[in-house]
Amino acid sequence: MNARDCAGILPFSHCVRAAGTNEFGFGLIDALQGLVDVDHCVLVNVRTRHAELSAFASRRKSAGERLTEAYVGGCYRDDPLVHEFVTSGATPSAKPVMRSLMPERQFDETYYERFFLEPGLVDKLSIIVPDLDNTAFLSLYRSTEMGRFSDEDKTRITGFADLLVSLVSIHLRLLATPRISRELSVKWHTVLSERERSVARLLGGGETAKTAGAMLALSPASVVTYKQRAFAKLGIATQRELVALTALIG
């Protein structure tokens, strides 16, 4: 890889660090700034019967948030790309696809007015990433001030399409992976005593107070006492929460 390639990829490093968090969309739109001007970007994960917003970022404060909520809430079904790749019944593409739309020609009038004319958008470029049970749509929008995506813009995005697809896939996998909060992790490792951690780990792994006590040379009553202390320090109240926590911590 030469220096020019590295310079092109470097702005996307923040996206990698932000993958799986609410900052992913902003990292992505900042990285794209070096390639092409984008008003805002939206990553929507569409399943058979519902859609999920996975990332959103805009250059304008609060621009598009209300419309994005409406889109995910059901209006996505009127999107011709969603119809083509998800709801039409046709065999889905096995590979990512990049598609540019001419909004006033391909959307119905009501949809076009609500999602393009009113917010002042003039063009949409989407990268569609199919998976086994869902299809991700990474859509880049241009404002009327910016004008439509040029052929050069599309060529630039195409050159980074594989990287964008990889970033989207990483982000979605991390979103779907159960994680514990930093606060809870810190409490587990620094607030609990060694004995409280040992008891919590055994009880979370399926041991009873009697068997855990035998393993730690404690009476069952002492095990229960350590458990109650651990619950209080961790801020949890049920055995189910403890099982989930110990499974994630390992």
Helical H segments across 24-180, by residue range? 24-32, 65-72, 80-82, 103-106, 109-112, 151-159, 161-176
What domain count does the chain have?
2
Domain that holds residue 245: 182-249
Tell me the C-alpha distance between 140 and 38, whole Å. 6
Q: Are residues 210 and 103 in the same domain?
A: no
Q: Are residues 168 and 198 in the same domain?
A: no
Cβ neighbors of 61 (< 8 A, separation 6 or more) are: none
Q: Are residues 21 and 95 in the same domain?
A: yes
Span 211-245, pLDDT tens digits: 999 999 999 999 999 999 999 999 998 888 888 88
Owner of token pair 């969603």: 82
pLDDT higher at 65 or 246: 246
Q: Are residues 236 and 163 in the same domain?
A: no
Look up residue 238 and give its two tokens.
Answer: 């049920």
Per-residue model confidence (pLDDT) at position 8 = 55
Domain end position, chosen among 144, 176, 208: 176
CATH number of the domain within which 200 lies: 1.10.10.10
Q: Are residues 145 and 195 in the same domain?
A: no
Task: Answer whether residue 43 shows pLDDT above 90.
Answer: yes
Residue whose C-alpha is closest to residue 136's, from 126, 125, 124, 128 = 128
Task: Answer whether residue 2 shows pLDDT above 60.
Answer: no
Residue 3 pLDDT grade (very low, low, confident, very high; cuts 50, 70, 90):
very low
Q: Are residues 50 and 128 in the same domain?
A: yes
What pTM does this model have?
Answer: 0.70
pLDDT higher at 60 or 208: 208
